[in-house]
Structure 1
Amino acid sequence: MIVGIGALRTREVLELAEEAQNAGAAGVLLAPVSYQALTADEVFGLYADVTAELSVPLVVYDNPGTTHFTFTDELHARIAELPNVASIKIPGVPTDPGEAEARVSRLRELLPSSVTVGVSGDPLAATGLNAGCHAWYSVLAGTLPEPALAIARAAQTGDAATATAESQRLQPLWELFTRHGSLRVVSAIAELLDLVDHPNLPRPLRGLPDDDRAVLAHVVQRLELR
């Protein structure tokens, strides 16, 4: 299990990292979260401070939509040289397969061979895996592993066409992800499958409105998501 340890202050991040390690986490995931906009040197310093205290692998969480910080490939390369850095979680890839492959190849050339590149943004997972990403950091897979595994296993065996087709089959779901945010949609799926109670999201997040839940229920039934 990889545990998120993002917090506003380095001191708090270190405390969360220690708690995660003591609890038996296999790794930690860290996004550069801050009230004040961070500089590249400050972000590097954050990862340097945290990795110096870690005994488990760390995933660098590049999520500009949430953190409002944009990594350069050069900064990724600097951070990747730090101890215990195991993977870079990038925020999706270009939708064009050729552009996606060029994007992933450039980043992989800058990183040590020991550091993997993982794609996030479930609608772009097949494109990212086909383009050479080592991993997919999925929202869907935590609740519905089978459709995610179908995409990942096809890509891992070099069957790009099947990986793409399996992702395209889920397009109605990806459209809901785009419209409402993946967390809200997957939370509602877990409710529909009686895996969790309602409500289950931490406030101030709220679940989908009834009309949108009905649309999602139809998609889940039509795609036979179980």
Structure 2
Amino acid sequence: MSSPVQIVLVLAAVCYVLVRRMMGEPAEAKRMLVLPAVLGAIGLSQVSADLKSPLSILFLVLTAGISVVIGALRGASVRVSARDGLAFVQYTGVTVALWVANLAVKFGANFVLRAIDPQDAAALGNSLLLTLGAGMLVEGLVVLAKAVRGEGRILWAKGKDGAPHQLSPWLDSMQQNRNGRTAPAGTPHAEYGSDTGPTPSTGTQQQFRR
């Protein structure tokens, strides 16, 4: 079963995401896609050896399915706009309520299963990262789909310490096809300066060409 420390850390991370996105921030594809996928993979490795009974597998499938549905609803509730040429995302009250519902379903299912079979509940207790990761991944996909239909360009990753932001040409290409605007072609992650726009990549990346 997930340890109390792990549960507290996960809840703290969720609260951190809630606060940041309620305030609003640029859409960052890497954070929306890679992080949930990693969490889901870690969660899957934690439960793969423990799920042995049909009941525990059924509860896992149900809770994961509900998490995916709620994740899609969260994504649909997120407000997406364009600010300073970038896609900007902001959580709404509905998004927060859906997060609370997601956690309530997960911990409620664990409580019900514990009353039925404590051994199965212990196996299901390790699935917290898996179910949350799956829901967050679907949420990210829905938000990015909304952002692609908008005018603001989608970051792959925000630059740190004054470095240019990284862009994703495949997301630019999707926006180009959707909105009919010109998107730059180039390497897997082009760079975007906050004032000067797309700039040549340096270091280990190949050169970015317009």
Specify the structure having the higher radius of gyration (Cα). Answer: 2
Higher relative contact order (CA 8 A, sep 6+): 2
Structure with the largest fraction of helix: 2
Q: Same fold (TM over 0.5)?
A: no
State TM-score, norm by structure 2.
Answer: 0.31
TM-score by length of 1: 0.29
